[in-house]
Amino acid sequence: MGRSVLVTGGSRGIGKAIALRLAGQGADVAFSYRGNEAAAKATVGEIEALGRRGLAVQADVSDHEAADGLVKAVLEAFGKVDILVNNAGITRDDLIMRMKPEDWTDVLETNLFGAFYALKAVTRPMLKARGGRVINITSVSGQAGQMGQANYSSAKAGLIGLTKAAARELASRNITVNAVAPGFVLTELTQDLPDNLKAELINRTPLGRFGTTEEVANAVAFLASDEAAFITGQVVSVSGGLTMAG
């Protein structure tokens, strides 16, 4: 592959699976993390074990200056950013009537504003290179809405709008912008859910199981590849059929 990748929020979960999948295809991978330095170092070690360069940068992408600094660090280390994967995200679930204003703001700032800041920071180097791939990790919650997740659903729906607008804006320079929308995926967060809730989520999924982080990473790897050169402005649902458009 010989490409340089930046994954935001890449030390654990879906982000880590994406980082390892792209490293396995021959990419050098940089990723941001917020606070878990031990997890970040472990992920760098796994990337390097695949024979590629790995770089962990502590950065909170909800701060536009931190997002700029993150991209500069990757450009200094690797010389280019061929692929950006906007994965960083948080949840602050609650019903609308109980949701604190700061829980609304925090989720929007990380999940949507952070993706915009990272995208904005890579735009100039990608335009100069006359090519690039941007993959935004949205969610079925952004397509269908989810009770108790007004903030998260709004941010992820906004990310779909950002994907389509950016795809139109950057297409003339051979930069594609797509999104991947995972359904219910087995991560550290979902493993701790009560068994009755897990059963309900599985029951709502036509394929009758949780997805894996690797299955989400496979979709990202495809969109980042040469095989996806004529695909832009699309949302690929990796949800076991949870959302189906008529």
* Residues annotated catalytic, as ranges: 152
d(CA 157, CA 138): 7
Q: Which two tokens stand for residue 105?
A: 């703001």
| Residue keyed to tokens 């219910």 | 184
HEC string for the chain: CCCEEEECCCCCHHHHHHHHHHHHCCCEEEEEECCCHHHHHHHHHHHHHCCCCEEEEECCCCCHHHHHHHHHHHHHHHCCCCEEEECCCCCCCECHHHCCHHHHHHHHHHHHHHHHHHHHHHHHHHHHHCCEEEEEECCHHHHHCCCCEHHHHHHHHHHHHHHHHHHHHHHHHCEEEEEEEECCECCHHHHCCCHHHHHHHHHHCCCCCCECHHHHHHHHHHHHCHHHCCCCCCEEEECCCCCCCC
d(CA 246, CA 226): 29
d(CA 86, CA 47): 19
